[in-house]
Amino acid sequence: MTDWSKAGLYARAWVVSDMTGVGTGVTDRGLTSRKVGRLSGTAQVPGDKSISHRALMIAGITVGKTTITGLLEGDDVLATASALRAMGAKVEQLGGGVWRISGVGVGGLGEPAEPLDLGNAGTATRLLMGLVATHDFTSFFTGDASLSSRPMARVIKPLEAMGARIVARSGGRLPLAVIGTATPLPITYTLPVASAQVKSAILLAGLNTPGETTVIEPVLTRDHTELMLTHFGAEMRIEELAEGGRKITVIGHPELVPADIVVPADPSSAAFPMVAALIAPEGDIILSGVGTNPLRTGLIQTLIEMGAAITLENPRIEGGESVADLRVRSSALRGITVPAERAPSMIDEYPVLAVAAACATGRTTMLGLGELRVKESDRLAAMATGLAACGVKLSVEGDTLIVEGEGRPPLGGAMIATELDHRIAMSFLVLGTVTAEPVMVDDGSPIDTSFPGFAALMNGLGCRIGA
């Protein structure tokens, strides 16, 4: 067990001694969040990042033109658009979140002339690796320092079983080369860890592979790829397993047809204004058109168990995905135990859940957080260090985070090292809306990877986030 209270004291002392900016690591991209009293209003967060990536990729291998409305125009998704252009798809930005994609057909991608720079986009990297693995050309993948530290071995193994050859740095890290195969082999692959990205990479590779490619997932993960492939006309079989989980099969060499898409608002992005409203002294907001796919609503379920006043209004189906407007009001939260099996449905939301737990009454125990260690940063360590610096009592036991809430906001007043991680930055800016002392993050620029306009949207609801 790690004692984070002492680390937090050291961090606070370091910040207080360096508030002039010398030695704090503060850049001109740093942001500060200050205490507010009331949050209110209606807002729509940007489009779902997971769905946006997949919409671009699958539309890019249809035969014809697809219009995508509500596409997330963050850096990660723009990197996917750039990669598809480099391989021959016509990708046009029409304005207002509307894009038109002219696809090249299954198997029709061409060898990119330059390395594909994916910035900080882990989802784009893993899914595109699958897409190109069964094309007879070589492609090179690069990214920023954060992406280059993230492991790709879990994707490399099944793709090499299908015939691709992948040359990477130690630990399966970027930069790497995918040498696609001209004679791909269908496989049946059981996921060793719950990962929608690995599942999706295999299914995308299976599109240009003869026969049937099957993924068995013992634990359910987000199913956006299956839903979207069906939306575009792929032949799929999805079987529920008696022991739990699913068996997903894609039939190779389909002729995918254009199918317009409306991208719902991202539930992972909605998590930040949602938690801000819950912990505010007075909060009553509506978040419009948020995706409520049942494999993505773990945070909503968890917060409701903690006593959150969250209601789903006007539920509907858009583009094959369930959507609703979320009304969120200030609530007295209480600590609970969050089971490990819920992690796949909310893995990206644990940092902001930890913020909610810090303001709750009692102990919140979050189990099974191992995946947080291989995200844009080691999110488990980053959250523990930052929360302790803000005066929160907590401990880490293996892959479990335990937060001791005192029924009131912590003191705050810390400078948070974001480590190029957008969700760490946004989570601590949410915490700063209720702490007695402002909370600062050293670099807010990574936020644009998933939530462009974050500060403006939050300030429109009543927050005070700025340089």
Query: Which structure tokens are listed for 322?
Result: 């369930």
Q: What tens digit of pLDDT does each residue of 325-376 get?
A: 999 999 999 999 999 999 989 999 999 999 999 999 999 999 999 989 877 7
Q: Which of 75, 348, 421, 443 is catalytic?
A: 348
Share of the chain above pLDDT 70, in %: 94
328-342 burial by CB neighbour count: b if 16+ within 10 A, else e? bbbbebbbbebeeeb
Question: pLDDT band at 29, cuts 50/70/90?
Answer: confident
Residue 23 neighbours by CB under 8 Å, 6+ apart: none
How would you class 456 by CB atoms within 10 Å of its CB: exposed for 0-12, middle for 13-18, buried for 19 or more? exposed
Average pLDDT over residues 120-135: 97
Residue 294 gets which letter from DSSP?
Answer: T
Could you report how far apart the first and last alpha carbons of the chain are, in Å? 36
Residue 46 has pLDDT above 50, yes or no: yes
As a whole number of angstroms, the distance between CA 303 and CA 412 comes to 22
Residue 432 neighbours by CB under 8 Å, 6+ apart: 32, 33, 34, 35, 412, 438, 439, 440, 465
pLDDT at 376: 78
As a whole number of angstroms, the distance between CA 464 and CA 441 comes to 14
Residue 418 gets which letter from DSSP?
Answer: -
Question: pLDDT band at 171, cuts 50/70/90?
Answer: confident
> What residue segments make up the domains of the chain, in order of their start?
2-46+264-466, 49-262
Q: Which of 8-17, 426-435, 456-465 has the lowest mean pLDDT?
A: 8-17
pLDDT at 28: 64
As a whole number of angstroms, the distance between CA 439 and CA 463 comes to 13
pLDDT at 97: 87
As a whole number of angstroms, the distance between CA 446 and CA 363 comes to 31
For β-strands 246-251 and 321-329, DSSP reports them as unpaired
Closest CA relative to residue 285, chosen from 35, 43, 45, 459: 43
2-46+264-466 and 49-262, same CATH topology: yes
Residue 235 has pLDDT above 60, yes or no: yes
CA dihedral sign, ordered 56, 47, 68, 322: positive
- Beta pairing partners, 43: 287
348 classed as catalytic? yes
Question: What CA–CA distances, in Å, run from 464 to 307, 409, 421?
Answer: 26, 16, 21
Q: What tens digit of pLDDT does each residue of 172-196 get?
A: 999 999 999 999 999 999 999 999 9
- The correct CATH number of 49-262 out of 1.10.10.60, 3.90.180.10, 3.40.50.80, 3.65.10.10 is 3.65.10.10
Residue 12 has pLDDT above 90, yes or no: no
Residue 16 neighbours by CB under 8 Å, 6+ apart: 413
Identity of the amino acid at 284: D
pLDDT at 263: 95
Whole-prediction pTM: 0.86
| φ and ψ at residue 214, rounded to 5 degrees | -125, 135
Closest CA relative to residue 110, chosen from 84, 128, 130, 129: 84
Contact 232, 257 (CB under 8 A): yes
Q: What tens digit of pLDDT does each residue of 383-442 get?
A: 999 999 999 999 999 999 999 999 999 999 999 999 889 999 999 999 999 999 999 999
Task: Please report where in the chains the tokens 């974001």 appear, as a residue.
Answer: 418
Q: What tens digit of pLDDT does each residue of 372-400 get?
A: 987 778 999 999 999 999 999 999 999 99
For β-strands 38-43 and 282-291, DSSP reports them as parallel
As a whole number of angstroms, the distance between CA 76 and CA 238 comes to 29
Residue 9 has pLDDT above 50, yes or no: no
Q: What tens digit of pLDDT does each residue of 194-205 get?
A: 999 999 999 999
As a whole number of angstroms, the distance between CA 301 and CA 259 comes to 32
pLDDT at 172: 94
CATH architecture of 2-46+264-466: Alpha-beta prism (3.65)
As a whole number of angstroms, the distance between CA 166 and CA 325 comes to 43
Query: Which structure tokens are listed for 187?
Result: 């496989």
DSSP 147-160: GGGS--HHHHHHHH
Residue 206 neighbours by CB under 8 Å, 6+ apart: 134, 162, 186, 212, 213, 250, 252
pLDDT, averaged across the chain: 93
